[in-house]
Structure 1
Amino acid sequence: MKKLFLLIAVVLFCSCSNDDNHSSQNDLKGKWNLTNTSGGITGTTYPNPADQQMVLEFSENTLKTYLNGTLLNTQTYSFQTKKSIFGGVRKMIVTQSNAIANDINRVQSFKIVGDKLYLRDECFDCYTSEYMRINPAAF
């Protein structure tokens, strides 16, 4: 009986995966402060300038972007599960086109690890941005 239990435990443990698809809209809700951006042709990491605070605020289906406390942009967003250009199928955030941001349905894969959010533009030579959750105890 012990061997059967051990076998079932091993099978269950091995069948678990650590993919990005477990992140959900509820995990994303709240405010996120930009800490750095990396990528482009050179793959350089650029820390966020000390005199600039870029904050994203996700609610039910709205994404607001703030710079130093001033609202810059409000967009609607949705989730889609799509094949990523970086491999595999991933959950994506798709923001709707917006004349102010001059976006055309921007698509970014995302991953939440602890209090960090990683947004990755789904294009080659584009950028990955790292954000830190603001006041995680409130969410």
Structure 2
Amino acid sequence: MKKLFTCFLFVFLIASCSVQTTPIDDQGDKDLTGKWKLIRSSGGIAGTTTEYGAGDDVIIIEFTSNKFLKSRNGEKIQEGSYKIEQGNSIRTTEEVPLIIYNSELKQSFEFSDGRLILFDECYDCFQNEYVKL
């Protein structure tokens, strides 16, 4: 009987837990707009990690209110429009903020320790970490 009560209590505690999420509009200083420098990229089938530092390729992505510009060593490599929406992600069962580029490609994103983390929305793809300039 004691084991049954302990199991019931454990299940009750687990069931009463909840996860809080921060709406996009309430992120305060966690603003996507501005210039961001790539510092780390990891993932892929081989699970590689590349650290970017002084002397390496300098990859910058800049977000304005609805446009983005990506450059490598000062040369433009990609640009276009984007929008942010809540949506489904391959990383979780809950809706997350997504950046949708040029109405096609999408990445989920989050802010952690002052960094912007962009997650490619495909299996065996990459996670890219940026710091704000």
What TM-score, normalized by structure 2, do the two folds share?
Answer: 0.74
Note the alpha carbon deviations across 1:73-124, whole angstroms, 9 max, x for none. Answer: 2210001111111112101000016xxxxxxx11100001242000000111
Distance (whole Å) between structure 1 residues aligned to residue 99 and residue 119 of structure 2: 10
Alignment deviations for residues 1-38 of structure 1 (CA, whole Å, 9 cap, x no partner): xxxxxxxxxxxxx97824574548x7000000000100
1:42 aligns with 2:46: yes
Tell me which amino acid in the other structure corresponds to 1:57: E
Q: Give the whole-Å Cα distance in 1 for the aligned partners of 2:112 and 2:83.
A: 20
Q: Does 1:130 align with 2:129?
A: yes
The structure carrying a bigger helix percent of its residues is 1
Give yes or no for contact 1:65–1:74 (8 Å, CA) kept in 2: yes
Aligned length: 113
- The match for 1:28 is 32
**Which structure has the greater CA radius of gyration?**
2
Task: Give the structure 2 partner of residue 115 of structure 1.
Answer: 114
Where 1:42 maps in the other structure, the secondary structure is coil
SS across alignment from 2:31: helix
Which protein is richer in strand relative to its size?
2
Does residue 95 (structure 1) correspond to residue 101 (structure 2)? The answer is yes
Letter in 1 for 2:70: T
After TM superposition, what 4+ stretches of structure 1 lie above 6 angstroms from structure 2?
Answer: none
Match of 2:66 in 1: 61
Matched residue SS, 1:77 = strand
Q: TM-score, normalised by structure 1?
A: 0.71
Report sequence identity in percent.
34
Contact 1:20/1:90 (CA < 8 Å) preserved in 2?
no
The unaligned stretches of length 5 or more in structure 2 are 1-16
- Corresponding residue for 1:106? 105
Gaps of 5+ in 1: 1-13, 98-104, 135-139
* In 2: Cα distance, 1:33 partner to 1:18 partner: 26
CA distance in 2, matches of 1:48, 1:20: 31
Query: Structure 1: which amino acid aligns with 2:67?
Result: T
